[in-house]
Every structure is written in structure tokens, then in C-alpha cells.
Structure 1
Amino acid sequence: MHVVVNAAMSADGKLSSHRREQIAISGDADFDRVDRLRADSDAVVVGVGTVLADDPRLTVKDESLRDERLERGDPANPARVVVDSRGRTPLEAEILDDEAATYVCLSERAPIDRRMELSDRADLVTAGEERVDLLRAFAALEREGLEQVMVEGGGELIFSLFEAGLVDELRVFVGPKIIGGRDAPTLADGEGFVEEFPTLTLAEVARVDDGVLLVWRIAE
């Protein structure tokens, strides 16, 4: 499996405000880039915090890109994956609509009644006791044929993926905004590293609108 983390952050490294409200950091050119990246992926992955805060649909917006997928024998939209240890994804969430297949990754701690309710709307992957074991969950997703995976956040999930050694590539649009706030989410939250920091190799730098796109590969 090839895992690409994609994010947009402000010039001071924030994903949103301290209220966890979605902020337009990038513009049309970057939206088009993200749509292309989704169209080239087998699945788009988010944490449950992103679902609760933004209620994203995570589908391909451009009809021509959906047509390209259909022409090569793929569904019009990539699968959606929610990492949700306790099964908190709302049943009315957009990500559970019928626009694409959806997988919800749970831990064994998720209540039985929530599992049953979610199983009517999504395919469930159970891995880990207290929290989702990402190595096991992603191995299960790969067995389902999901080989090119795009991760769209949030910061807790991104940190956990780096911690598990699952990230192959990091793509970050840095936008021309200052958000501030010591409690505002950053690209990689979680507990943080204190040793053996992941090392990145810069592969590409490009101006996009009034921001910059940085592409890193994970150093071996």
C-alpha cells in the first residue's frame, strides 16, 4: 500500500482555528490538485474528528475525473475510510451516503450497538483493543484492494500514521494566512515524538496561487 498524506495548513502551521472550524486556506488551483489526487486514489482516509468537525463527503468533484475513473474500470469515486476507535461516526454523516463505498475502522472498545448500526451503512474493520491498530487496519484495507491511499487528516491521525511508519509521501499546501492559537490543530498532533523523528526528503516545491506546495518523500 502507498500512503500519501495531503493537507493544507496556514503559514504558521495550523489546520484550522482553535474552535476546530474549517477555514479556507487554499484556493481554486489547490482544490483542483486535491480533486485530481482523490481521483487517482483507491481510498480517502480521515479520522473521526474530521468527520465530526467538517462532515466531509470526500468524493471527486470534477465530472471529467469521475468519467476517467469509470473508463478505467474503477467506481466513480474512491472508497472512504474513517478511523473511529469508538464508533462515534454519526449515522447521518455525509461520508456514509451511497456515493461510494465506506469503511469504518473500529477498535474492540466500540459498543456493540454502534457496530450494528454502522454495519448497515459501511463495511467495518475491527483492529486493536482500545484504539485502532493502524498497521492491522491498513493491512485489512489492502486485502480489500485499496493500494493507493490518500489521507486528508486530521492532525491526530496523521501523527499516528507517522508513528506507525505507514506514510510514504507528504504533500502540504502552505497558504497565505496566519491563524494562531496554542490549541489550534497542527499537521501532526498526538503525543509528539521525542526521539527517532521521521525524516523527510524534499521532492518538489511549486507555487500554487499565493501559497506553496511542498512534496516530501519519507526517507528510508
Structure 2
Amino acid sequence: MQQRPYVLLSCAMSVDGYIDDTTPERLLLSNAADFDRVDQVRAESDAILIGATTMRKDNPRLLVNSEERRAQRVARGLPAYPLKVTVTESGDLSPDLRFWHYGGDKVVYCPDSTVSKVRKSLDDLADVVGTGPSLDLPTMLDDLGSRGVHRLMVEGGSTIHTQFLTHGLADEIHLAIAPIFVGDSKAPRFVSDGVFPGGTAHRMKIADVQRVGDVVLIRYLPKQSSGDSTS
């Protein structure tokens, strides 16, 4: 059986748990040093995933920006850019989004019933793969593994992070905490409501805590327990 990729969730949030505010402009939570750290993590990954909602809202290119890091990937026999991945239930993906027109290969995962719609919209901009009657993340991970993806970086948004965590599919979380408050319950959070493995009895293991300028980076291993029952 093909091994599934190691799944790393990457997110920046405010002290009160928000990943954006409700204004039309994207809220920049990271600083320059943390953006560079994220670029390094991207360069070390075989594939990078964002959800369709995040694509439509932020319209990112989702690239490895450092020329040196791209050259290092090529020297290791890898493509200059990781595979870019998105998932969609509705299939509402505009071919004008920047995601399709920068970097290397792209792949879209969606329910079987949506495949023809996405293929018609995107033409040859991406490989489109059906995952069965619904959008099925384990099926997606199996397919990515068959494509030689060993390390998958997931950059959100809230719904995607929640699905990976509630299904027990995340191996690592990089949570960058910015020293600001958003204070708006209508803004998106790191995760939405859900039933998480182990519930409140499960205390995740902390792999590392690091200061990156004025941002604090915490690395969690959600499948492992801290074994610490103290408060």
C-alpha cells in the first residue's frame, strides 16, 4: 500500500485565535522573518494545499519565493516548485485565479459529481481527480502518495484545517501567534467547531517553541500526547 504523505498544517493567528479580520484586505499576521520561515517550509515540502475558499478570497500565487531555495530543490532532483493542490466541493474555481498561472504542476480534488464541471472550467490548467461521492481527504492523501508526495504542507483556511484535524490526518501543526487582537466574532478562526480526536482529554505534544521577531512559533504534534496532566 502506498504510504500517505506526512501532513503539516501551517497557520498564523492573532492572540485571540483569528486568522484574518472582516475587512476586504488580507490581515498580515506574520512579520518578514516569519514569511521567510514559511517560504523555507514550502521549499522543504513536496506539495502545498489550500482550500478553494481561501483561493477565492486571497488569490495567492502560493510559491517558493526564494530563488536560492528553488535552485536547491532543482539540485536535489526536484521540481523548482512543489506541487500545488486545492480541494473543492462546489467546483467553483475561476481559471483567472493566480494560483493556476504561477509555479509548477497543479491538481484539484473534488467529488466525482463535480469533476466534469472543474475540467470544463480549468481546461488544461490542472489535473482534476474525483474522490468518490464526497470530497474525501483520505482518498486524496492516497492519491498524493501515489504521486510521490512525502510531505504535504496545508495552508488553510479554517474549514480545511478543521477537516484534517477532526479526521486525525494532521501529523504536525506550525502555529505562529502574532501579538495582536482581532476581537471580531465574525472573523475566521484557526479552526471551526468540530469533534477532535480525544476531545479535551487529549493534550498534544509540543515539539518546539521559537521566537521569530515579535511572533511566537509553536510546533505541535497532534497525534502524540504530552503526557503532562499539570495545569
In structure 2, the CA distance between the partners of 1:113 and 1:125, relative to structure 1 (3 Å rule), is closer
Q: Give the % identical residues.
A: 33
How far apart are 1:195 and its partner, in Å? 7.0
* 1:67 corresponds to which of 55, 66, 71: 71
How far apart are 1:199 and its partner, in Å? 4.2
Q: Is the 8 A contact 1:7 1:153 kept in 2?
A: yes
Q: Secondary structure at the match of 1:174?
A: strand
Q: Secondary structure at the match of 2:68?
A: helix
Aligned-residue CA RMSD (Å): 1.7
**Which residue in the other structure is 1:8 paired with?**
12
How far apart are 1:128 and its partner, in Å? 3.2
In structure 2, the CA distance between the partners of 1:146 and 1:91, relative to structure 1 (3 Å rule), is same
Alignment of 1:218 with 2:222, yes or no, is yes
Mean CA deviation greater in 206-215 or 34-43? 206-215
- Deviation string 1:96-149 (CA, Å, 9 cap, x unpaired) is 1152100111112326333333242101121132x4100111111111111111
**Which residue in the other structure is 1:170 paired with?**
173
Aligned AA for 1:196?
G
Q: Is the 8 A contact 1:86 1:109 kept in 2?
A: no
Q: Is the 8 A contact 1:85 1:109 kept in 2?
A: no
Runs of 5+ unmatched residues, structure 1: none
Give the Cα separation in 1 of the matches to 2:131 and 2:10: 24
Aligned AA for 2:178?
G
Which aligned pairs between 1:148-187 and structure 2 lie closer than 5 A?
148-187=151-190
Which aligned pairs between 1:1-220 and structure 2 lie closer than 5 A?
1-19=5-23, 21-110=25-114, 112-129=116-133, 131-189=134-192, 191-193=193-195, 196-197=198-199, 199-220=203-224
TM-score (norm: length of structure 2): 0.89
Give the Cα separation in 1 of the matches to 2:77 and 2:166: 34
Q: Is the 8 A contact 2:7 2:171 kept in 1?
A: yes
- Deviation string 1:152-194 (CA, Å, 9 cap, x unpaired) is 00010000011221100000100011112112111112x4227
Count of residues in correspondence between the two structures: 218
Runs ≥4 residues deviating over 3 A: none
Runs of 5+ unmatched residues, structure 2: 225-231
Give the Cα separation in 2 of the matches to 1:73 and 1:11: 40
Q: Is the 8 A contact 1:20 1:185 kept in 2?
A: no
